[in-house]
Amino acid sequence: MEWEYSGKPSYTILKIKLNTGDWLQAEPGAMVSMKGNIEIKTTTGGGILKGLLRSIAGSESIFLNTYIARGPSEIWLAPGAPGDIIYVPLNGNAYIVQNFAYLASHGNIRFDVEWGGFKGLITEGELLWLKLSGYGGFWITAYGNIEIVDLQPGENMTIDNFHFVAMNAGTRYNIRKFGGWKSFILGGEGIVADVYGPSRIYLQTRTLPVFASMIEPYIKSK
């Protein structure tokens, strides 16, 4: 299996070349085009209960499409919103992923839904996260460019809540308001997270809620 990207970072498309026997799973609606002998199966990605939990967690579908190459093939995938795509390898570890960010995956990966409590506010205001673990890898997407931050032991950083995309499972962090009450209400930041290393964090450079608020007056005027 080989892949490349086109249109980075604003309108990225993922182009995957499959050898005979290769397979991957992807979100419904992500397929742009494909060629070659590809068998398609639609499943719940680990059972109907997990599918329902993914759906409850946010924008994820109950179902996942599985693409199996019966010969040399190629498939192109793209997210619904403009933005970047990046590959995250799994080598027996686990990641917490914002519910909108999952695009596709391959290998022996376990899909779970993890309760984030009120700390879940760091990921676009959601209380449930997707948890991916196992072996293989997955592709995530985000609105804007994706930046990778590697925090070393003893390091920490403060991150705006709406810019999280994914992070190592078990990452230690605290949620707090931005500055004092005046800054919290008027500063335009709201809630932030103090994140502590070691951890790998994936951040998006833009956020859909902010963009939606910018165009809302124009939509209403119509």
In the chain, what are the domains?
2-221 (3.60.160.10)
pLDDT for 58: 47
Nearby residues of 150 by Cβ (< 8 Å), 6 or more positions away = 197, 199, 200, 201
pLDDT tens figures, 128-151: 678 899 999 999 999 999 999 999
pLDDT for 49: 40
Structure tokens at 120: 């879940």
CB atoms within 10 A of CB 17: 15
pLDDT for 130: 84
Low-confidence ranges of the chain (pLDDT < 50): 46-52, 54-60, 118-119, 122-125, 127, 181-188
pLDDT for 52: 46
Instruction: Output the DSSP codes for 147-158.
Output: EEEEEPTT-EEE
pLDDT for 140: 96
pLDDT for 190: 62
pTM: 0.82
Give the closest residue to 211 by CA, choosing from 99, 128, 104, 124. 124
Ramachandran area for residue 105 (φ above 0: left; ψ -120 to 50: alpha; else beta): beta
What is the share, in percent, of the chain residues with pLDDT greater than 70?
77
pLDDT tens figures, 67-101: 999 999 999 999 988 999 999 999 899 999 887 89
